[in-house]
Copies of this chain bind each other. A is one copy, B any other.
Amino acid sequence: MQVLNGHRTIRKYTGENISEALLRKILYSGTRASTTGNMQVYSIIVTRDESMKNQLSPCHFNQPMIKEAPVVLTFCADFNRFNKWCRMRDASPGYDNFLSFVTAAIDALLVAQNVCVAAEDEGLGICYLGTTTYMAEQIINILELPQGVVPITTVTLGYPAEDPPLTDRLPLDAIVHHEKYSDYSADDIDRLYGEKEALPENIAFVKENNLQTLAQVFTEVRYKKSDNEAFSKALLSVLEGQGFMNHQR
């Protein structure tokens, strides 16, 4: 619980490497996560090589963690291995569809979070990179992911060289609903987002961007509609290319 409650994203790492033994220990804890029907329809690509990091870096918008972390982990939805097994055992796999992609992505994400918790429990720092789903096609090419495999998220791992405070979160009541979804009134939104909006760093963030509200920083700078739409098309096209939309043909 202390490990979970003490989580901070760590973006700066010391030069210290992560031993293969420690990495395996952490990844093993990942594989103990629940998985649909115990199919384990995921894979993890470990990047340590500098030239591979240089190739991956633009896929993650050149965020410095990719080059500076000793280990980069790309978590993938993976039905390729399972499909191969089925075909070798006189079984016809029916996993070339959207539901199976979602199933495999869920598997991959539960493993990813277990790996992060295990890493932090060992004194390492982690950073998730959301860019993975934006740039999936490029990552597929670099990591040579075959049909049936789609990268879902990336985590950088290293020994922390910074000690940031906990990040703010919405009050628990903003997130939790009892029995049915209770939709938010204008008063609810004001109350639930008030603390976040009043934080000095968020006020500064709005000013730096010459905007009027924190929400505008999200919609106009960080997560813009035009970008989201372009990435949506690219990701759907990746799902087709990797063989997860065959039911729509």
Contact = CB atoms under 8 A, between A and B. Distances in A.
What band does the interface of chain A fall in when counting residues whose beta carbon is under 8 Å from B? 35 or more
A204 interface: no
The 10 tightest CB contacts between A and B, nearest first, are A94-B225, A91-B215, A89-B215, A113-B113, A89-B213, A98-B232, A109-B109, A97-B232, A99-B232, A91-B219
Given A24-B172, A29-B1, A152 B106 contact: yes
A29 B43 contact: no
A133 B101 CA distance: 11
A149 interface: yes
A113 B33 contact: yes
A116 B32 CA distance: 12
Contacts of A46: 176-179
Interface of A: 1, 4-7, 9, 24-25, 27-29, 31-34, 36-40, 42-49, 52, 80-82, 84-86, 88-95, 97-100, 102-103, 105-106, 109-110, 112-114, 116-118, 121-122, 126, 128, 130, 133-134, 143-146, 149, 152-153, 166-170, 172, 174-181, 183-184, 186, 189-190, 192-193, 212-216, 218-220, 222-226, 228-229, 231-233, 235-236, 247
